[in-house]
Structure 1
Amino acid sequence: MLADELQHKIDFKTKPLGALGHLEYLAHQIGMVQNTVSPELSNPHMVVFAADHGIAASGVSAYPQEVTYQMVMNFLGGGAAINVFCRQHNIAIKIVDAGVNFDFPAGLELMDKKVRKSSRNILEEPAMTSEEYRQALENGKSVVSEIAKTGCNIMGFGEMGIGNTSASSLMMSRLFDLPIVSCIGRGTGLNDTQLLHKIRILSEAIEKYPHIETADEIAETFGGLEIVQMMGAMKEAYDQNMLIMVDGFIASIAVAAVWKKDPQILNNCIFCHVSDENAHQTLLELLGQKALLNLNLRLGEGTGCALAYPLIQSAVNFLNEMSSFEDAHVSNKE
């Protein structure tokens, strides 16, 4: 069996059993996904989905809504953290307008997948209609389908959207039947007064929709357009048998919503870091996952994926290039 062959190859490298820790698990996972004892990473990509959120008008973020489009312009100019880290590790980057409340000028290196300008304010109505939800899923799928043509077999997913930790907290509460207060964090850096306001607003929002149950209903009602497009993209990446690098809290919520419908997606997921957002560690535990890094990041953008990518490459490299005891004529443990 392939699983046994991979484990044998890992165990008989010139090291004590288990000495490379989580890298050994990662190498085994990647080999299983690619159905080979000699896996490889090809043309890595980072996709950053951007959209605005109607609930941002209720003061749930420390930053105004216009920061979303301003940061998209920063991404396109190459000046954001995710640009720096992708350049460092030779990861191609694509920026997607999933629903930014702004008219971008023509001629930008921007994937235009805008469904509408911003999701609706959840305090007043569901974030999107059923048709908008279906379109967002399809748009996310199309992004990955296009990139897959380049031979990419590993893809990271990031996001930008003022208000999206609020949408994610609401989704987590309903997906896992948890009290909303246990799913809320400081997002972009709220102070204590702002955090109490966020808790009050989100408590009011979740009480407005008592009867939604399925993952699709939850994402349609509470999610953002960038979160839903990420869901569609992740599902397509899984269907294309890519490795899926998952960033922080918001990207993990997108995975969780897909997982509710298709649990096998976790086989392809590499959770790159545990963020400083309050509920992310709980979410990882609910999904039965362990993150590669813990750097107290809370930026989003896919930064955790870009930082973790060299470790993922190292897992592949040791499996392919490190000598076995037999090859190196090194005595193994008795």
Structure 2
Amino acid sequence: MSAHAFADFQDLLMLGPDGDEAAVAAVRQREARLTKPAGSLGRMEELVEFLARWQGKSEPTMDDPMVAIFAANHGVTDQGVSAYPREVTQQMVNNFTRGGAAISQICALHEINLRVFELALDVPTGDITVVPAMDERTCAATIAYGMEAIAGDVDLLCIGEMGIGNTTVAAAIYAALYGGSGADWVGRGTGLDDAGLARKADAVDRALQRHAGRLDSPLAILAHLGGREIAAMLGAIIATRHQKVPVIVDGFVATAAAAIAHAVNPAAIDHCLFAHVSAEGGHDKALERMGANGLLDLGMRLGEGSGAALAAILCKTALHLHKNMATFDEASVSEKSD
């Protein structure tokens, strides 16, 4: 694959603006006056700083948080790597929009916008054990689509996905980026038995062997081994950095998009918070490779942005406390003695 096809994305990943440390300082100044011991809310205080830094606001907002689910299908499902057929991707997309899925209910309860982006569900990517998942033109166009998908007044973006077979391609991406075999990175996904898990690991190994010598850059790895939803989530990560929108990344598959960005430029994901540690095999190892850690550890492996939405609720709570708690002066409470 030619490097020039991805040159613009490489540049955008390398040239993302820095966070606003003056906004963080303003948040810390107010935090120090609130009626509580310094640092007593732990990471909840850090969440407000995270919002301020990457929104560039001394008074951060969560007026328009959004969960974006990117849905795609994968040719590698022909290898028996999933417990469910490909048709389930479209069926679950329908379930999202009708309000019947877990993420639909979480978003409705907590007033978080939910948008679902279908990525050519009737045209699965290539079976990565045989051919590249995408040609460079398709991959580049899908990254660009993901960049455009978050247009509007979003002030916090949660990225999630839906796609039968996508834990297999995510595992292949991790193996290509970080080394190891399929067995090191695959998990049971939607509920594979032992035989299915073995087929999944074997499919990753065969894909790595099939594309050996052509996985010479992170974006080439994405095109050869990835999926449209991962490419689109990468696009969203790129665009949000330049639009001053902080991002919460969901689980195993969504993190693969962040891993591609991180492999190009580790600083490219500084505006990303990782929602949770998935129960899916390899997620904790991938986070460790990026020097990251999940905010929550609930044994979840649902996908669809569910963990990211729960992390957004924590952000919303942290911001509410920051804005609405009384200061020592307002409450007539004595401050710590010198």
**TM-score of the alignment, normalized to the shorter chain, above 0.5:** yes
Partner-residue secondary structure (3-state), 2:270: helix
Q: CA separation in 2, counterparts of 1:206 and 1:98?
A: 25
Q: CA deviation at 1:170?
A: 0.6
From 157, 160, 167, give the equivalent of 2:162.
Answer: 160
For 1:143-154, what aligned pairs fall within 5 Å after superposition?
Answer: 143-145=149-151, 148=152, 151-154=153-156
Deviation at 1:264, TM superposition (A): 2.9
Instruction: Calculate percent identity across the aligned residue pairs.
Output: 35
Among 130, 139, 144, the alignment partner of 1:138 is 144
Distance 1:82 1:138 in 2: 25
* 1:77 is the counterpart of 2:70: no
Partner of 1:128: 134
Pairwise CA distance, 1:76: 2.2
Selected match of 1:223 from 223, 226, 247 = 226
Q: Which amino acid aligns with 2:28?
A: Q
Q: Compute the displacement of 1:285 (Å).
A: 1.8
2:301 corresponds to which letter in structure 1?
Answer: R
Partner of residue 187, structure 1 = 189
User: Secondary structure of the equivalent of 1:245?
Assistant: strand
- Alignment equivalent of 2:299, drawn from 275, 296, 300: 296
Does 2:208 match 1:202?
no
SS across alignment from 1:99: coil
Q: Which residue number corresponds to residue 253 of structure 1? A: 256
Q: How far apart, CA to CA, are the structure 2 residues paired with 1:34 and 1:132?
A: 31
Cα deviations by residue, 1:136-195 (Å, 9 ceiling, x for unpaired): 1111112112xx2xx211111111111000000010111223443221111111122221
RMSD, aligned α-carbons: 1.6
1:315 and 2:318 aligned: yes
C-alpha displacement at 1:325, in angstroms? 2.5
Alignment-derived partner of residue 174 in structure 1: 176
1:269-301, Cα deviation, whole Å (9 max, x unpaired):
121121111111112222222222222111111
- The residue aligned with 2:81 is 60
Deviation by residue 1:119-145 (Cα, 9 ceiling, x = unmatched):
000111110101111111111112112
Q: TM-score, normalised by structure 2?
A: 0.89
Letter in 2 for 1:306: A
Residue matched to 1:27: 48
Q: Does 1:46 align with 2:67?
A: yes
The match for 1:112 is none
Structure 1 residues 174 and 196: CA distance shift in structure 2, 3 A = same
1-side partners of 2:128 and 2:44: how far apart? Answer: 42
**DSSP-derived class of the 1:206 partner:** helix
- Picking from 101, 113, 119, the partner of 2:125 is 119
Cα distance in 1 between the residues matched to 2:112 and 2:26: 30
Uncovered stretches (5+) of structure 1, i.e. residues with no partner: 102-116
Greater Cα shift, 28-37 or 153-162: 28-37
Paired AA for residue 235 in structure 1: I
Task: Determine the C-alpha separation between the residues in 2 that align with 1:269 and 1:294.
Answer: 17
| Matching of residues 271-282 of structure 1 within 5 Å | 271-282=274-285
Instruction: Give runs of aligned pairs for residues 228-247 of structure 1, distance below 5 A.
Output: 228-247=231-250
Amino acid at match of 2:231: V
1:330 aligned partner, one-letter code: V
Q: Which residue of 1 aligns with 2:12?
A: none
C-alpha distance in 2 between matches for 1:320 and 1:287 = 32
CA contact (8 A) 1:29 1:267 kept: no
Asked whether the equivalents of residues 66 and 115 of structure 2 are also in contact (C-alpha less than 8 Å), the reply is yes
Kept in 2: contact 1:48–1:158 (CA 8 A)? yes
CA gap of 1:25–1:72, structure 2 versus 1, over 3 A, is: same
Q: Which amino acid aligns with 2:124?
A: S
Which amino acid is the alignment partner of residue 81 of structure 2? V
- Do the aligned partners of 1:99 and 1:226 also contact (CA within 8 Å) in 2? no
Please state whether the residue corresponding to 1:158 is helix, strand or coil. strand
1:12-41 CA distances to partner (integer Å, 9 max, x unpaired)? 322122211110111112121223332111
Over residues 248-276 of structure 1, what are the superposed CA-to-partner deviations in whole Å (9 max), with x where a residue is unaligned?
11111111112222433333212112111
Q: Is the 8 A contact 1:89 1:306 kept in 2?
A: no
Q: 2:115 pairs with 68, 72, 94, which one?
A: 94
Q: Within 2, Cα distance between the matches of 1:255 and 1:42? A: 25
The whole-number CA distance in structure 2 between the counterparts of 1:178 and 1:42 is 43
Is the 8 Å Cα contact of residues 174 and 213 (structure 1) preserved in structure 2? Answer: no
- TM-aligned CA deviation for residue 8 of structure 1: 3.3
Please give the TM-score of this superposition, normalised by the length of structure 1. Answer: 0.90
Instruction: Summarize deviations over 1:104-123 as a string: whole Å, max 9, x none.
Output: xxxxxxxxxxxxx1100011
